[in-house]
Amino acid sequence: MGQTSTLPSPAHITASIRQRIETGGERLWRLDDFRDLPFEAVAQALSRLTRRGAIERLSKGVYYRTRETAFGSSRPNPTAIQTLAAKHKPIFPSGLAAANLLGFSRQTGKQNEVSTSAGSLPRKLVGQDTIIHTRRPQAWNTLSPLDAAFLEFLRSGGETSELSPEQTVQRTLALAGEKERFEQLLKVEDSEPPRVRAMLGAIGEQLGKQPSALQSLRELLNPFSKYDFGLLSGLAHARKWQAKSTVTV
């Protein structure tokens, strides 16, 4: 006699998942949360629950169970969903978020601003109003969020700093001199635009780095080009590293 299948039916799996979701209250759910059940059956069950309005699909394999409030249905915590998004694609702070993380500003922008080495980010995870800068160098994936934020700050010429030009320079030097940060940044130097390479050269020289350590930065620059250092034009060796002259009125 043939053996009777003991696999749960699709209806049973859907009912089991729905019970877990309703018991769990407001939260994010992923396919990995149901690893004790067959993958395909879970995916189909979550799709059915989404069509019925029991949960909301935020991205591939990511769902959200809302709760009703006095102001309508609740929304996912932005920090939690961005942390979740970062597990799938690299996300780095940019704009005011980067300046805030680095200690150049206490402001938080009306719109969150991030960057990524990916070609896109799921809007439902990072937020519909989030400003996204895509296709940052793949080399950034080896950096810490703070190191990537530092490069974002250099790319903007320090324009997001609310410190004085002198304080901005000093804070930049302090950050670049922490631990092995400058050496880490040199590992991705060839992926950076010329202006950032020039700034790194001026920063490194003011930090007392050996000329041999900065030689590759120099070789990557067009000797006839000038670069806008923005608020970092006050670096002691800015002109030596081809910064544009600033005109004061």
Rounded-to-10 torsion of CA 88, 179, 167, 132: -10
Q: Is the dihedral of CA 157, 162, 163, 166 positive or negative?
A: positive
The predicted-structure confidence for 186-231, as pLDDT tens digits, reads as follows 999 999 999 999 999 999 999 999 999 999 999 999 999 999 999 9
Residue 121, amino acid: L
Cα separation of 48 and 169, whole Å?
56
The reported pLDDT for the residue numbered 248 is 45
Domain locations in the chain? 11-76, 79-234
pTM: 0.71
Give me the sheet containing 131-133, strands edge to edge.
Answer: 92-93, 113-115, 131-133
The reported pLDDT for the residue numbered 9 is 82
The reported pLDDT for the residue numbered 1 is 47
Cα separation of 198 and 129, whole Å?
33
- Check residues 248 and 212 and name the one with the higher pLDDT: 212
The predicted-structure confidence for 82-118, as pLDDT tens digits, reads as follows 666 666 678 898 999 899 999 999 887 778 899 999 8
Q: Return the CATH number of the domain spanning residue range 11-76.
A: 1.10.10
